[in-house]
């Protein structure tokens, strides 16, 4: 599903990513671990087409990012803090986003919100949401159009114990449906419970540490 070949990224004379080559197979959950500033988020941004590598190639579902398409054609994304219009409700925010492509109905949006533990009829503005509610809304916008690829940067941030449990179950259910998930997390337990493969990034260098035997 995702292929990175010799990806390097230099910003303001700083080497952010150093010659990264890795294949993330379809239908699996792939974990990225590493300290803050290690390059995890920038790698995800390269996969999503938000940042162009200095050299190397990124291919998603057979399409080369930056050549065949600017962004992955069938991906749901959470990177850093999800941004929403603060004076709209959660449902109204998702309705506005969904209108850009016109792929899903109002009922689809409401069903997705319920799946992630949000009430679609809640009139409260997003600016009054808790951090956990914002995170659930971020996941809802990522999955509502039923993408084949999910790129999730710290999706458990702000969730309480029950919320983390619900989120893990939902992500595992998506894997059973054949979705491919690339997830970055600081939680060793999240990575252990969820991930089929694990890569560690340190100072822009990627090391495969689980699930790549036989490549």
Pairing verdict, β 197-202 and 2-11: unpaired
* 215/150 Cα distance (integer angstroms): 23
> Nearest 10 degrees: CA dihedral of 8, 57, 186, 89?
120
Same domain, 172 and 83: no
pLDDT at 22: 95
Number of structural domains the chain divides into? 2
HSE toward the beta carbon, residue 140, CA cutoff 13 A: 30
* Domain end call among 126, 146, 166: 146
pLDDT tens string 17-70:
999 999 999 999 999 999 888 999 999 999 999 999 999 999 999 999 999 999
3-state secondary structure (DSSP) of residue 80: coil
pLDDT tens string 138-189:
999 999 999 999 999 988 887 888 888 888 988 999 999 999 999 998 888 8
pLDDT at 215: 53
Same domain, 60 and 152: yes
> Nearest 10 degrees: CA dihedral of 87, 89, 92, 96?
50
pLDDT tens string 177-196:
999 999 998 888 889 999 99
Same domain, 70 and 85: no
Same domain, 42 and 130: no
* 68/45 Cα distance (integer angstroms): 17
DSSP structural state of residue 128 = G
User: What residues make up the domain containing 154?
Assistant: 1-74+147-215
DSSP structural state of residue 24 = E
Same domain, 54 and 85: no
* Domain end call among 146, 174, 189: 146
Q: Please report, for the domain that includes residue 12, its CATH number.
A: 3.40.50.300
């Amino acid at each position: 599903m995702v292929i990175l070949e010799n990806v390097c990224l230099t910003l303001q004379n700083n080497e952010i990513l150093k010659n990264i080559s890795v294949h993330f197979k379809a239908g699996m959950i792939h974990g990225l671990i590493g300290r803050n500033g290690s390059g995890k988020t920038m790698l995800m941004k390269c996969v999503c087409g938000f940042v162009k590598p200095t050299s190397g190639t990124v291919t998603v579902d057979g399409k080369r990012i930056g050549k065949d398409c600017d962004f992955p054609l069938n991906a749901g994304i959470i990177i850093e803090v999800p941004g929403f219009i603060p004076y709209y409700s959660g449902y109204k925010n998702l309705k506005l986003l969904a209108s850009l492509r016109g792929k899903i109905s109002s009922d689809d949006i409401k069903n997705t919100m319920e799946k992630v533990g949000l009430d679609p009829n809640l009139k409260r503005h997003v600016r009054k949401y808790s951090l956990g509610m914002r995170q659930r809304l971020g996941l809802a916008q990522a999955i509502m159009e039923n993408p084949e690829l999910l790129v999730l940067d710290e999706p458990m941030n702000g969730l309480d114990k029950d919320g983390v449990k619900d989120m893990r179950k939902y992500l595992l259910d998506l894997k059973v449906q054949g979705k491919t998930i690339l997830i970055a997390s600081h939680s060793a337990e999240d990575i252990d419970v969820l991930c089929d493969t694990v890569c560690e990034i340190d100072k822009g260098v990627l090391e495969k540490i689980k699930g790549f035997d036989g490549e």
